[in-house]
Structure 1
Amino acid sequence: MGEQAPHATRREAVIGLGASAAALSLPARAQGRTEPPATASGVVFEDLSGTGRRQAGDPGLPGIMVSNGRDVVRTDAEGRYALPVEDGDAVFVVKPSGFRVPLDADNLPRFSYVYRPHGTPAEPRLRFRGLTPTGPLPASLDFPLRRAAEPAAFDVLLFTDPQPETTTELGYVRDTAVTRALGTQAAFGLTTGDIMFDDLALYPRYNRLIGRIGIPWWNIGGNHDLNFEAPDNGLSRETYKRVYGAPHYAFMHGDVLFLMLDNVNYLGAATAPPAARGGRYEGRFGERQLAFVENVLRDWPRERLVVAAMHIPLVTDLGSENPANVTADRDRLLALLEGRPSLSVAGHTHTTEHHYLGRDGEHHHHVLTAVSGSWWSGPYDRSGIACADSRDGTPNGYHVLSIAGARYTTRHVAASGPDRAMRICLDSQFHARDAEVARAHTVAELLGSPIAADAVASTDLVVNVFDGGPRTRVGVRFAGRDPVPMERVRRPDPFVAQVYARNAETRRPWVKAEPSSHIWVARLPAGLGPGTHRADVFVVDEYGRDASDALIIEVTSA
């Protein structure tokens, strides 16, 4: 990426740094472990008393899965289990369908116990506080569950990359996505990483804000949720574990299994480039998590849906040459999911993408729109909040996953402003010239009409279908003529390119318009003469749903 000035180190952390061969060959550390292996044992019980602690009359629950992050066991007839654990492991219950786990005051699920007998090691010194000493394992490490109705049809809110860097940007999260989600009927929400933008001290306020949505909220960590001072991956989630618990886990809801996976493999502080704040990382699940997935899936019915959530995509339209932007061992996860109805969701790239992977494209991988969009870049709206259009042109926001048995759909929700399925604009081959940018007073004027009749033949109608993908079909009808199909092309959205060009002072230095995977183009008809015309755009999306919108085109004689 060329020489980086000291102030540009955050850009390196945001875009992701590929792991060099030297970094990948670094010897493994001892993961901060100081204690010999131990055995955790206890009871998973039905919390009839509602106290969270087992009382007389609270029965043990048989057949419930409990894990140490690799091994998975089921409770016996009396609800008892036993598992080997090592210093730093998290022991957790896999929430079964028809039950709920305890929630704290901020609606965070409390389902795990992190075993750190002496606390986070004092060296290296971490900038953000890790785990306090837990002491020896409890004589009985128990997990309470309470019965709850879980219909087969339900909604889930999918957030990724809220990524506030400052208290001001926490306010942006509050006043956009959180406010937009108030009153939701979704069963729960989840965030697929980059909860923070490096400052992990902001977790408490963030959790209070998300908690006010009023539904359980599950989380996994991203690359900006790491302890960058850690020498290796083993100590990189100490703050995350203190706040949220197990860094990877699973739970069931209705007829669906959710796998919450951590595929940010931190290669350690020693891999940091000169002047960079943190070391390199790569996308990788690793042997331990893949064994966990295999063990959880062993008894999961093959006809039931599996949803896997992670931070780094399995693949991305931005390219696979950077190991920090894709998952190296994705094929092993796909092999475990083969033959099952499955969906995986990720974030990280601040783009919106659909991919169909595995045998015959049976696995759907959805890269989600970032809540922070362009890392809270762009002009400010009337409320003083950054518009934050994503670098592929999608308005910042989140998705709603709607599930009915083994079938599902997703839909994009703008964090603020109107909810629209697409943006339509005009793009002349001349509009890329700096002089054109300077003469136009607004982006709408530059990328809209009126246009001169002699420019019609060099002007494209450009449609960004925000949640579109390779199975989306788009057509247009100009001025009452017969509909014609539009061509899917990989190119930057001209609208967001102009927004960034005109607002450099409010744009993060690394942010630029990237080629989008959901742009459709059609040339204006040569016979579109002077007058006022209408272009009607018709979309059939990835799930076969119809959407439409229109643009008024004015053509002048000169």
Structure 2
Amino acid sequence: MTREPTSGDGRLTRRETVAALAGLGLVAGRAEAQGAAEATGIVYATDVTGVDRAPLPGVLVSNGREIARTDDQGRYRLPMPGDGAVFVIKPPGYAVPRDADNVPRYSYIHQPDGTPASLGLRYRGVAQTGKLPASIDFTLTRVDEPADFDVVLFTDPQPESRFELDHVRDTAIARAMAIPAAFGMTMGDVLFDDLSLYGRSNRIVGQIGLPWYSLPGNHDLNMQAPDARYSRETWKRVFGAPTYAFRHGRAWFVMLDNVEWLGPPVPVGANTYRGHIGERSLTFLRNLLAEIPRDDLIVLAMHIPLFTDTTPDDPHGITIDRTALLDLLAGRKVLSLSGHTHTTEHHYPAEGHHHHVLTAVSGSWWSGPDTRTGIPSADSRDGTPNGFHVLSVRGTDYTTRYVPAQGQPDETMRILFESAARSGAVEVLRLTRPVQGLRPPVPQDALADTTMVVNVFDGGPRTNLTFRIGDRPAQAMTQTRRTDPFVAELFARYPETKKSWVQATPSSHIWTAQLPDDLAPGAHRLTVEGTDEYGRPIRSCTVLEILGERGRG
């Protein structure tokens, strides 16, 4: 976050606001347009030295609804009848300014009276901006921008305290620092209600060294706001416009705030929000689509999913106006990204549209034992270890890959065996990550009642698996929606280490098979292999040890 000069009451003066934004290359004009209901300005281009500054034609600029394209003089005009924001849609080959923490500065917030003090918001909102400037200008820097690039994708880091922010720093941030990428994105719940942590969070994320774009989640709200209008005041002060867009290569990234605040919780703690894009943002997307070539890739980012297996009909867990969105996007090549559920899912709602619910950085909200490192194991409730994803764009094609935030960086699946003869008791017969040293072989007379359970952490409906024991022929595994026995046992064994609401939930990426009942006693090599959502090979191996008699070696 930019270190802001402030007046004596803690708010930016008009002069300080303009000076601070001008220093970021956002506002050049200082004169005020008296009573204007129209925003106008110039988009400039410069090189990395800051010299050779010239107007840049053909650049898209928006007020979050209408879209204008700069003319031959780099000038645009947009309606601005009241409070609002103006943002530049970065074209390929250019970069927007970044502050000291690598937060992109793509927008100008217009709020003449600032955030009303009468709202009693717990966290500081927008300072008075005064009347609309005569010229709201943006300066972009020319850069070399290949059409093939990678993007680091975070969602739900969600630290509830400074201590949990340490966990974000020492897991996902540390691992992401070693991944070459063009930029990073966070799909909401940057924090867990305590918005005073934005400054430190941005300083930590900024050390990855990439431009880092963010959009807000339900835990980034000003929860004292009476309605949606003032629910993003702190977000706007720290990051800028909550809905915006930019281009990189042949991909258009559209960042949609789809969390609608319905008012303060009554009783305290109630979920008074819903997944809702709204008419204004849908109109913005419609107008933007008119500017996008039909064969370009659209990457749509949001916090609340369009679809989820976790809460398929709950307005807190899905976007209620998703049908209108899908209608707009029909016939386009779309990857839509979300978080929120702390599960990992793949959905294909329409031809050419892939909806990916991303792994949460915080996993099970930083729950689980921390006996080895002091950092909670944080396995998600669907059994996926906490982590993030990397999006690889190659022209207009793409793939994603999952990266664990802890453990082995190439870990793709977990293999374990459970017995149907345990009468409902919490007992896992074989774990690749042992719990309290439990790692027994399978008794030969329990083989017929033993199920092999494989959790492919980033699996989905297009993933296929087989297993092979020794030199035997490969056998198909069945995708089965069920809980992961590993995480179910973990939460049962260490209830004191988890948040009260955390429990194992059915996973969409579990595959099962019954073990053959004619295996001889001894050690057997078991191989699980197949292809992932993109047809890439995946493989893992383990040792299956069989006892000759139950309970005896």
TM-score past 0.5 threshold:
yes
Counterparts in 2 of 1:468 and 1:437: CA distance versus 1, 3 Å:
closer
* Aligned ranges 1:155-554 → 2 under 5 Å: 155-269=150-264, 272-276=265-269, 280-358=272-350, 361-418=351-408, 419-431=410-422, 433-434=424-425, 436=427, 443-444=434-435, 449-554=440-545
Q: Distance in 1 between matches of 2:179 and 2:426?
A: 47
Equivalent position SS for 2:200: helix
**1:79 counterpart = 2:74:** yes
The share of aligned pairs that are identical, in percent, is 55
TM-score (ref. length: structure 2): 0.90
Q: 1:107 aligns with which of 102, 105, 121?
A: 102
Shift of 1:148: 0.9
Counterparts of 1:143-162 in structure 2, within 5 Å, are: 143-162=138-157
Per-residue CA shift, 1:68-113, capped at 9, x if unaligned?
0000010111000111114431110000111000010000000100
Paired letter, 2:197 = L
Query: Shift of residue 445 of structure 1?
Result: 7.8
Taking only aligned residues, the RMSD between alpha carbons, in angstroms, comes to: 2.0
Q: Structure 1 residues 336 and 437 mapped into 2: Cα distance closer, same or farther (>3 Å)?
A: closer
Q: Give runs of ≥4 in structure 1 deviating > 4 Å.
A: 48-51, 435-438, 442-448
| Deviation at residue 139 of structure 1 after TM alignment | 1.7
| CA contact 2:48–2:142 (8 Å) conserved in 1 | no
Paired position in structure 1 for 2:41? 42
Amino acid at match of 2:223: F
Q: Note the C-alpha offset of 1:227.
A: 0.4
Deviations, residues 517-546 of structure 1 (Å, cap 9, x unaligned): 000001000111311112110020000000
Matched with 1:96 is 91
| Cα distance in 2 for residues equivalent to 1:447 and 1:363 | 43
Which amino acid in the other structure matches residue 403 of structure 1?
A: V
**Partner of 2:111: helix, strand, or coil?**
coil
Query: 5+ unaligned residues in a row in structure 1: which ranges?
Result: 1-34
Describe the shift of the 1:523–1:170 C-alpha distance in structure 2 as closer, same or farther (beyond 3 A): same
Partner Cα separation in structure 2 for residue 81 and residue 101 of structure 1: 17
Counterparts of 2:223 and 2:126, CA distance in 1: 16
Q: Distance in 2 between matches of 1:448 and 1:301?
A: 56
User: Counterpart of 2:6?
Assistant: none
CA deviation map 1:269-317 (0-9, x unaligned)? 1xx23233x6511111000000001111102110010000000000101
Matched residues in 2 for 1:87 and 1:227: separation? 21
Post-superposition Cα deviations, 1:108-157, rounded to whole Å, max 9, x if no partner, equal 00010000101101222111110010111222110000111111110000
Distance 1:383 1:87 in 2: 52
CA contact (8 A) 2:428 2:486 kept: no
TM-score using structure 1 length: 0.89
Which letter does structure 2 place at the counterpart of 1:305?
Answer: L
1:423-467 deviation line (CA, Å, top 9, x unaligned): 0000111346447479x9x94589854111111000011100000
CA contact (8 A) 1:161 1:194 kept: yes
Rounded Cα–Cα distance in structure 2 between residues aligned with 1:444 and 1:191: 32
Shift of 1:221: 0.1
Shift of 1:362: 2.4
Does 2:58 match 1:63?
yes
Residue pair 2:418, 2:427 contacting (<8 A) in 1 also:
no
Deviations 1:162-187 (A, max 9, x none): 00000000000000000001132100
When residues 114 and 195 of structure 1 are mapped into structure 2, their CA distance, relative to the original with a 3 A threshold, is: same
* 2:150 match: secondary structure: strand
Distance 1:279 1:537, change over 3 A: closer
Residue 435 of structure 2 contacts residue 490 of structure 2 at CA under 8 Å; is this kept in 1? no
Q: Please tell me whether the aligned partners of residues 443 and 499 of structure 1 are also in contact (alpha carbons under 8 angstroms).
A: no
Instruction: Check conservation: 1:220, 1:248, Cα contact below 8 A.
Output: yes
Local SS of the residue matching 1:517: coil
Q: What are the superposed Cα offsets for residues 303-343 of structure 1, whole Å, 9 maximum, x if unpaired?
A: 01000000000010113221110011112211222112110
C-alpha separation in 2, matches of 1:285 and 1:302: 23
